Structure 1
Amino acid sequence: MEKEHDRWPRPGLRDVTGGLIGGAVALAYAFSYAALLFPWQYPGLLSLALGLALVNAAVGALWLALRSQLPFAVAGPDGNTTSILAGMTAAVAGSVSTAVQGPNLLALVMATTVLCGVLFLVLGTARLGSAVRFIPYPVIGGFLASTGWLIATGGLRVVTDFPVPGVWMLWLSTRVRDPLVMTTIALGLLYVVILRRWRHPAVMPGVLVGTAAVLILALKLLAIPVENARADGWLFDAGVAATWSPPWAQDWSALQWQPLLVQWVDMLAVVAVAVITLLLSSSGLEVMARRDISFDRELREHGWLNLAIAACGGYLSIVSVGRSAVLLESGVTSRLAGVISGLVCLAAIWLSPWLLGWLPRPVLAGFLLYIGMLLLHEWVIVARSRLTRSDWLLVIVILGTTAMVGFTVAVLAGILASCLNFALSYSRLGVVQHDLDGTGIRSSVQRPARHRDMLSRHGAAIRVIVLRGVIFFGTASTVLDRVRGFLQAPAGPIERDLVLDFSHVDSADSSAALTFTKIAQLAAANQVRLVVCGLGRGTEAAFAQAGPGVVIRASLDLALDEAEEGLLLSQGLDPQVSEESLAGWLSRELGGEQHWTALEPYLERRQLRSGETLMTQGDPSDDGLYLIEHGRLAVRLPHQGRGQRLASLMGGTLVGEMALYDRAPRSANVVAERKSVVWGLSRAGMERLHATAPETAIQVHAFIMRTMAERLRLANSAIAALQRGA
């Protein structure tokens, strides 16, 4: 299928034609934002604003044409930031005398431009471009909807005295019948219909020139003299020329710092909106170009660009999706188109008296109204279908605050609302990842049968809470509510342990520490042993004031091991040793003393010193399994620390049983944790047992299968408990 730009001239001519059209579109935006930048009540400032905007457009187009990762990228005046700057300049212009308005307004916009440039450089150099993505999406939407409102109302201010926030509805009821206002609104709606219907790059400048010609012709037909049209606000004053205002050529002696410093909050708002706009625009261009770009590099380029623009006498310049799309859709193949677009804007500095003198005010005002309506439609109407109700209401709150109070308050309200929304959403998510007890999760210690039975019957006395994420006062209180019943239950003969695992917690603030102190006090008052494990730098402070009764362990496994030992001790069992002899244990497991008598000749007794290795990963497994008479063995993988064990095996258990059924090498190291005695049954010994006592051999296999099944059942139980979550 033939693409639209395939009908354009050859590649070289496409660059020239696309650059000229792009320059015309850039001029339309520059003239419109120049009319918006400074208050309309002071027409003498228009030439100053026009110079700032044209320098912005010219340098922005030239810089990105030569430096951007995308050859079709075009920078220039941005509506989002210009609308905020317009409110700032209006406040400063009204607080200083007319004679010194120029230098003070220049200082304000240039200082803001330099501030943005420096921040762009810092973010880009530190590779923090992606950090902006952590700003909540509805807050971004609220800011952009608010700038749409500011641009739309700024368009009306080009032709009339649109009021300050809060009283605009009263103004609308009285001034909407004004011919200038009606014409501006009609043109804005006309631009919405035409420019959304036909997206050819040449349509926008053509429509603006066409509507300007129609208005001038209407004035002629109505026999309205040009002088009267200018006096009534239909045309700009004749001979308005763009004033180039490089900072080194200004007289700064009349600078008044107080009105400028008052604007520091709005300056920060401009910086925030500028960063958001830049990264959103870069993301849009990345999708349009179907290629990856580095946001950090774009930030650095915009940093140097805006420092250069401030030095040349311009103001904040940001890459524009719309103006860049004009070049892309024109089929440009090189950076020449962007250069030509910049040169067109540069030439307009000298041609501005002729261009602006015959450009009707309602045309620029209607174009600004069109831009504002597009943003409002995007973030108020379209966004409703892709945002949750609460997120969309946050956009409306920020927009409503801007319309009724002002953008600065809206910024603060948006930040506050997003923080509250995040806190509420996060608290609903919960910080308890798993809520378990000793029947669903065990330590890695393999204990004798009687110990295992006791833990199965009384495991509910061990409560395990696995926490996650970031813990603050609101979420910490949910932990207290969850364990309050366990802590306040009547004390009995069985020791109770509450284990709090912080290994998945990133941080806990000081307010959370108060809640955990209360948990520690409740535990102490009700004779519950509180064990905390997995603390890190971000969570250690949460238990600094919890008192001496809190037991801190390095890992959940160690905490569970101690809790199980405490439960066994409370029931009169020694958790360190098996109370059965080897003969009694195996006679019971094999179904009679005769089977023990038949098996004993094939067992080889071996004593291990503490720290001695019984098995090494990768060794042959011909020596078969080992029955542990007493002591304790640790199963570890190589290169793991001593605190990270796979299992710990006590007397009355066995290890290495898989060697009887396959010839695979040993899968882990087995080391004695203390003096131990083990009895080995080799594969050859098992084969001889089959020949001499087949009934006993069958009982040995049944015993091994029961042991493996029990371990598998415990593992499945733990997995199921973890999958259930909290």
Structure 2
Amino acid sequence: MTASESEQSHLHRMSQLLQKYRPGRLLPVITAGIVLGILNLTIAISFGALIFSGGLADRLCLGIGLILFSASVLGLVVALLSTFRGMIAVPQDTPAAILALIAATLTTTLAGSGHPDQIFMTLVACMAITAMVTGITLWLLGAFQLGRFIRFLPYPVIGGFLAGTGWLLVTGAISMMTDMPLTFNRLPLFLQTSMLVKWLPGVVFGLLLWGILRRYKSDLIIPAMLLISIVLFYLVLFVADISPTEAGLRGWLMGPFPESGLWKPFLFSAVGQAYWPAIFSQSGSIATIVMLSIISLLLNVSGIELAVRQEIDLNRELRAAGLANVLTGLGGGLAGYHALGDTLLEYEMAGKSRIPGIISAMLCGAALLFGMSLLSFFPKFIGGGLLFFLGLNFLSDWVYETWFRLSLSDYMLILLIVSVIGAVGFLEGVLVGIIAAVMLFIVKYSRINVVKHRLSGETYQSNVDRAIPYQRLLKEQGGQILILKLQGYLFFGTADSLLTQVRERIHDQHLKPLRFLVCDFALVTGLDSSALISFTKMTQLAAAQHFTIVLTQLSPQILRQFEREHALKNDALLRIFPDLDHGVEWCEEQILHAEEESGTTQPVPGSDLESVFHEMLDALNQHTRFESLLERMMPYFERQDMQKGMYLIHQGNMPDALYFIESGQATVQLENEGSNHVRLQTIGMGKVVGELGFYLKRPATASVIVQEPGIVYRLSIATLRDMQARDPSLAAFFHEFMAHLLGERLANTNATLQAVIT
């Protein structure tokens, strides 16, 4: 690269950077970071008050410092390492709630220890261990690429989770503004004037913001509304002659916040002073925090994916959260992970940018070191209004708009999850949703026909290319064979319908009596014990109705299941073959053998090539027309003996002749690399092989190998040319004869294809 090109490249990157962070674009980004920082500071105080209460209330400020440390580390690490620019991670309510129970237990257990600091240090050590174990587990899940399993969660369950999150954000916003949980019994209290003043402005702010952003799109709308709302709030205070101190006492402002720094590294001293037997007794609760953190993180990231319509690398998010939690644990902090609400609030305010997450983390760090008394002047209704706006967005997207997109059953599942989340709890709602989705899936899947194709021996034959008289016989008697190509997973919802179809076929008076039931498992992914019971019943039905069950292409796992359940104990009624081709071939052989024994038909004579031609002409209804020409044709064919293993045609070679088989048998097979050869067709007495390559003059696409010794008659390309030169009418007869053969094969193929697609 020349100096001029390098300079142009630098100028281009500088131009892009200036465009990305121009003042009009930077303002909403910084505003989003500040708002998120204030909200996270508030959450830190709430979690601190939740965990460090009762006998630990005198250590509340130190506890808030530990949670602020967690918020700073989690926010910074995830903001820098996440695949989604704009991801926000914070200490979470689920670990905080369980740690509050652990703190209460430790306080009771160690109350008589005589060491006031021991309870606090034991709790700090417990928080550190919880965060580090959570972090290591999350990192290992990401390292082993296990995040993909959340993709199996049904779409309505994730939709219900997001709608439930919206409901919790709406109710949580009102509770935040009023400092009182919103419950049905307390509704009258929220309608009193003193309470209305606290929450109604926030609701109006959220509704206005939601309505304006639905109509207009601009990065400056949210910062402008925040500024106008703050100015209006303090203007109202000025007109009403209410000081900020009095407004704070009435609960209209954030805080109160501690004025001094809160940072103290406790971990190393906690290791020595903690009472470890009490910590070990809480291993069950610690494991619960780890499991719930994994589930919640994956649900949150999946929800963010849907909301922002961007695929996120779940395994990288697990690794980022894992590293953040390990670092948090080293400082004695609270476990946390990706925050759905905060991330989407950042997305609404600033788009996709890492800066808000970094600013929020830095604010928490600054408060940790220097205190946060200045934030006490921030109006509480604005923070609550932003949360209300976000919750309203969720409810609008997943309760209202999904009505027009989803089926009724999926939509009712979303409403069920929202109802349970609102009435009982978040995790309970998700669990009920998963159970309901599984039941709904079972009902829907059981309606799918487990039989992909239903065929008979009349329309589907094996790849054994028999003499035409035998083909006609198999078409006449092929109705005795029922072929069911199964698909999917066989369980109690589908196995019984399979048995019902077999019973209906047995009692159908318009069809020939059933002698062979062929079930092909090539497309079956698995089966449960109820499906095995259905096959046992089918075997009993076969004994009563005198037919044979033929199972083909069973996977090793399914075969072991049959053997464990003793479903293969009656060999007289049940046969197993490696693939459908060999299974149908066996059924055809049984029909032909029975017909020969009954004297209904005679074996195809094959004493010489002329008799073979006679049988083929009879089958093609062309005997009278061509009989006089057969004697003239015989001299052009070369008689050859076939030995087992001999190649008539080599795959890839240019053909130089075609062959009429007088006796013996050959196999047409596709030869892949190694020993993995695929049988395409088995041909015997009275059949022609090599005619396509002979006429098209293309390399052979498969090999023809002798399986049973016999006699063939060879017609070379040179001999055919000689026939055309010496006896043009005879050559014309031969070409017409071959056209009839190819036409017959095409008709048979079309009949099979028609049976498959109808």
Q: TM-score when scaled to structure 1?
A: 0.84
Displacement, 1:108?
7.7
Count of aligned pairs between the two proteins: 705
Of 566, 570, 576, 1:552 maps to 576
Displacement, 1:228?
6.3
Number of the residue aligned with 1:63: 77
Gaps of 5+ in 2: 1-14
Of 643, 654, 678, 1:644 maps to 678
Matching of residues 370-449 of structure 1 within 5 Å: 370-449=389-468
Matching of residues 13-92 of structure 1 within 5 Å: 20-34=30-44, 37=47, 47=61, 51=65, 54-64=68-78, 66-69=80-83, 72-77=85-90, 82=93, 84-85=94-95, 88=98
Once the two structures are superposed, residues 213-266 of structure 1 have per-residue CA deviations (whole angstroms, 9 ceiling, x without a partner) of: 655664565566777655554446645357447551556449677788468667
Gaps of 5+ in 1: none
2:661 is paired with a residue whose SS is strand
Cα separation, 2, equivalents of 1:373 and 1:48: 35
- Pairwise CA RMSD: 4.1
Number of the residue aligned with 1:180: 195
The reply to whether residue 629 of structure 1 matches residue 662 of structure 2 is yes
Could you tell which deviates more after superposition, 121-130 or 557-566? 121-130
Matched-pair contact (CA < 8 Å) for 2:38–2:375: no
Cα separation, 2, equivalents of 1:378 and 1:106: 41
Of 197, 200, 205, 1:190 maps to 205
Number of the residue aligned with 1:453: 472
Once the two structures are superposed, residues 578-622 of structure 1 have per-residue CA deviations (whole angstroms, 9 ceiling, x without a partner) of: 345443331351625432222211111111111111111233323
The reply to whether residue 703 of structure 1 matches residue 737 of structure 2 is yes
Displacement, 1:643?
6.4
Displacement, 1:32?
4.5
1:158 is paired with a residue whose SS is helix
Partner letter of residue 548 of structure 1?
Answer: N
Number of the residue aligned with 1:317: 337
Of 301, 305, 308, 1:278 maps to 301
Cα separation, 2, equivalents of 1:112 and 1:370: 33
Of 491, 494, 500, 1:481 maps to 500
Once the two structures are superposed, residues 687-717 of structure 1 have per-residue CA deviations (whole angstroms, 9 ceiling, x without a partner) of: 4444555554443323211211111112122
Matched-pair contact (CA < 8 Å) for 2:262–2:369: no
2:582 is paired with a residue whose SS is helix
Matching of residues 200-219 of structure 1 within 5 Å: 204=222, 207-208=225-226, 211=229, 214-215=232-233, 218=236
Cα separation, 2, equivalents of 1:15 and 1:476: 61
Number of the residue aligned with 2:751: 717
Cα separation, 2, equivalents of 1:133 and 1:108: 33
2:708 is paired with a residue whose SS is coil
Cα separation, 2, equivalents of 1:384 and 1:234: 38
Of 160, 165, 169, 2:184 maps to 169
Of 304, 327, 332, 1:308 maps to 327
Cα 1:382/1:154, change in 2 over 3 Å: same
The reply to whether residue 151 of structure 1 matches residue 169 of structure 2 is yes
Cα separation, 2, equivalents of 1:197 and 1:272: 35
Once the two structures are superposed, residues 315-357 of structure 1 have per-residue CA deviations (whole angstroms, 9 ceiling, x without a partner) of: 4132754465489659x7xx77865554333213345441343
Cα separation, 2, equivalents of 1:353 and 1:126: 41
Cα 1:181/1:526, change in 2 over 3 Å: farther
Matched-pair contact (CA < 8 Å) for 1:436–1:463: yes
Partner letter of residue 277 of structure 1?
Answer: N
Could you tell which deviates more after superposition, 491-500 or 352-361? 491-500
Number of the residue aligned with 2:591: 567
1:344 is paired with a residue whose SS is helix
Cα separation, 2, equivalents of 1:200 and 1:503: 56
Matched-pair contact (CA < 8 Å) for 1:26–1:345: no
Partner letter of residue 462 of structure 2?
Answer: S
Matching of residues 493-642 of structure 1 within 5 Å: 496-544=515-563, 545-546=566-567, 547-549=569-571, 550-572=574-596, 578-581=604-607, 582-588=609-615, 589=617, 591=623, 593-622=627-656, 624-639=657-672
Once the two structures are superposed, residues 145-171 of structure 1 have per-residue CA deviations (whole angstroms, 9 ceiling, x without a partner) of: 22222333333333557568xxx3333
2:186 is paired with a residue whose SS is helix
Of 708, 714, 718, 1:684 maps to 718
Displacement, 1:378?
2.5
Matched-pair contact (CA < 8 Å) for 1:266–1:408: no
Displacement, 1:399?
1.1
Cα 1:48/1:467, change in 2 over 3 Å: farther
Displacement, 1:282?
5.9
Cα separation, 2, equivalents of 1:275 and 1:91: 25
2:672 is paired with a residue whose SS is coil
Displacement, 1:648?
0.8
1:646 is paired with a residue whose SS is strand
1:644 is paired with a residue whose SS is strand
Could you tell which deviates more after superposition, 52-61 or 94-103? 94-103
Of 110, 129, 133, 2:151 maps to 133
Cα separation, 2, equivalents of 1:228 and 1:68: 43
Cα separation, 2, equivalents of 1:371 and 1:96: 37
Matched-pair contact (CA < 8 Å) for 2:130–2:289: no
2:696 is paired with a residue whose SS is coil
Displacement, 1:398?
1.0
Displacement, 1:664?
2.6
Cα 1:382/1:104, change in 2 over 3 Å: farther
Cα 1:576/1:176, change in 2 over 3 Å: farther
Displacement, 1:6?
9.8
Cα 1:490/1:202, change in 2 over 3 Å: closer
Cα separation, 2, equivalents of 1:491 and 1:10: 76
The percent identity for this pair of structures is 28
Cα separation, 1, equivalents of 2:220 and 2:370: 21
1:665 is paired with a residue whose SS is coil
Displacement, 1:381?
1.7
Cα separation, 1, equivalents of 2:554 and 2:288: 40
Partner letter of residue 483 of structure 1?
Answer: V
Displacement, 1:119?
3.9
Cα 1:585/1:344, change in 2 over 3 Å: same
1:430 is paired with a residue whose SS is coil
Partner letter of residue 553 of structure 1?
Answer: F
Cα separation, 1, equivalents of 2:19 and 2:722: 93
Once the two structures are superposed, residues 250-291 of structure 1 have per-residue CA deviations (whole angstroms, 9 ceiling, x without a partner) of: 56449677788468667634421211222443676784xxxx
2:524 is paired with a residue whose SS is strand
Cα 1:530/1:12, change in 2 over 3 Å: same
Cα separation, 1, equivalents of 2:229 and 2:223: 10
